[in-house]
Structure 1
Amino acid sequence: MADADPPSDTAGHRARLRSRLLTDPAGLLDHELIEYLLALAIPRRDTKPLAKALLREFGGIGGLLSADTEALTRVDGMGDTATAAIRIAAAAATRLLQSEVVARPVLGNWQALLDYLHADMAHHGVERFRVLHLNTRNMLIRDEVMSKGSIDQAAVHVREVIRRAIDLQSASIILVHNHPSGDPSPSRADIDVTRSIVAAGKPMGIAVHDHLIVGTAGHVSLRAQGLI
């Protein structure tokens, strides 16, 4: 469908929005940020209604920036160009947070790690299990998603986790997965698989620092809970 011509006052509105963005970006509302981002991709349309529709559909800016391509394109008015604009903004934000994690030893930079994981995982609708591999200086050497599960579980193979750590010569690992329900409380299966990985890694000299569960409501550390 061809872009419709915007209302006559759209140019003035965008100029004012651009001025605010350049002088006080923190003062913009979520829908204004998304509106201006979309305007760069589809300049001949009034993008405010679309921005508001996207935020409603995905429950806010976090859910929107975590939405996958297929979900975005299902929203009326979202073509490839607009979808790409949302995806590049999400990728840039995640890359920025990831750079903070990579720059320093992970265990001394814990909040940066939590911020990165929350941004990257909390709003996903499918459970994903990932492993962060650290060297002897606790620097991140690899961050890998090892499995993607259904809405409520991910298939985690203990031997594969340890084999990969051996291949990468990891000194230690941090386990992470998300709960699409939003509640990060650990299940019995979460606890059991964590303890199995800890037991399998110990003879190999591979320590499991923690298992973090991430949800929209926050995160839970199994080590802080005394569960490992």
Structure 2
Amino acid sequence: MTKPPFSPDSDDSQPADERGFFAEQPAKRSGLGIQAAQQEEAHYHGHRDRLRTRYRDHGDTALADYEILELLLFRLIPRRDTKPIAKALLERFGTLAGVFAPSPTLLQEVKGIGESVAFDLKLISTVAHRTLKSELKGKQVLASWSSVIEYCHAAMAHETREQFRILFLDKRNALIADEVQQTGTVDHTPVYPREVVKRALELSATALILVHNHPSGDPTPSRADIDMTKMIIETAKPLGITVHDHIIIGKDGHASLKGLRLI
């Protein structure tokens, strides 16, 4: 049976690469359809030029978050008005940072975002995280505390499941490795102190910073968080491994168990 051609009005069909699909559309129209398409294209091209000019002349402070997102989407979806898509992304995910956090599957639930654009958004997110991480590599982490918090917040604040991350440090408190040890549910991550210490010994780490996120958004430590941290401290101490802190990341802030004098 011959497969029917893709219809742009169909709700249950989506091209493999939406960028190629949108690029082909004007060529398929005729008569008044071509004229209308040309007028629409001229409109959003003029809008794009104005946004680029504002950004070039005044920097990002001259643009709203949805306009910054538009500028990015210009590159990913070359032949479509991207303002509605940018606004839909922000409405769905709340903030500019939140747009880059979801899985590609969730991103594709927003109309206008297909597999290719979802992939590119996640790639951009990865570049941003790696950039922040590179600022920590080899540096004395305790002297760059604001960079540590910024990196952990970017990497974990918008995750929908709990992650338990460890920053492994050498005797100078420089970062050796950053690893996600466990990923759990929306409100629990299993953590095994012996496995934490075993990995620290494998990396020849002499100090640790524990980090995990609360998908609820509230970084307030639970009793279980405190007890688990104390167990890791007690397991690590006889082997000469120090736990400097346990940081809990929420959407709008963080909590330090050491700062709260809970460890």
TM-score under structure 2 normalisation? 0.83
User: Percent same amino acid among aligned pairs?
Assistant: 46
Q: Which whole-Å deviations, capped at 9, do the CAs of 1:66-120 have from their partners, x for residues lacking one? A: 1221211222221122212322221222122112222521000000110111111
1:25 maps to 60
1:103-114 aligned within 5 A: 103-114=138-149
Q: Which runs of structure 2 are paired with 1:26-175 in the superposition (5 Å)?
A: 26-175=61-210
Match of 1:212 in 2: 247
How far apart, in 2, do the equivalents of 1:47 and 1:212 lie? 38
Structure 2 CA distance for aligned equivalents of residues 83 and 147 of structure 1: 25
Q: Distance in 1 between matches of 2:134 and 2:194?
A: 30
TM-superposed deviation, 1:217: 2.5
Distance in structure 2 (CA, Å) of the matches to 1:55 and 1:16 = 21
Q: Are positions 1:11 and 2:39 aligned together?
A: no
How many correspondences in the alignment?
A: 228
Q: Which moved more, 1:162-171 or 1:13-22?
A: 13-22
| Secondary structure at 2:110 match in 1 | coil
Structure 2 residues not aligned, in runs of 5+: 1-13, 15-20, 27-36
The structure that has the greater radius of gyration is 2
- Spell out, residue by residue over 1:8-66, the C-alpha distance to the aligned partner (whole angstroms, 9 max, x if none): 31111111111222231232111011111111111111000000000110011111111
Question: Which contiguous aligned blocks of 4+ residues in structure 1 show a shift greater than 6 angstroms?
Answer: none
Q: Which residue of 1 aligns with 2:9?
A: none
Q: Which amino acid aligns with 1:193?
A: M
Over aligned residue pairs, what C-alpha RMSD do you find? Answer: 1.3
Q: Which amino acid aligns with 1:139?
A: A
Write the distance in 2 (CA, Å) between the matches of 1:10 and 1:198. 58
SS of the equivalent of 2:135 reads helix
Show CA shifts across 1:174-206 (max 9, x none): 000000000000001000000000000000000
1:48, 1:183 → 2: CA distance?
Answer: 32
AA aligned opposite 1:166? L
Gaps of 5+ in 1: none
Q: Which deviates more, 10-19 or 206-215? A: 10-19
Give the Cα separation in 2 of the matches to 1:131 and 1:140: 10
Within 1, Cα distance between the matches of 2:109 and 2:72?
19
Distance across 1 between alignment mates of 2:217 and 2:47: 37
